[in-house]
Amino acid sequence: MNLHKHKPTIQLLSAILLIVVGCGLLISGFIMPPPGEIHNSVLIAFGEILTFAGALFGIDYHYKYKSHDHEEN
């Protein structure tokens, strides 16, 4: 099994998993009493998860296309 070949897939799946968990936290914040009020810790955790998932996508994109730019010049 070549890890380098599967690395983008692993990054994408981990980002999707993190987003799903973050959405689950947000939904649980609506369900838990008092209904409709989202606790600050839920919002902070959700924001951190989305930031990390976005960072995975951004870093992968940056280095993927940065290496292509150097090869073309």
Residue 47 pLDDT? 80
Per run of 10 residues, the mean pLDDT along the chain (length 73 residues) is: 72 77 76 76 80 79 68 57
Residue 71 pLDDT? 58
Residue 67 pLDDT? 63
Q: How many C-alpha atoms does 46 have within 13 Å on its Cβ side?
A: 15
Residue 69 pLDDT? 56
pTM attached to this predicted model: 0.57
For the chain, the domains span 39-64
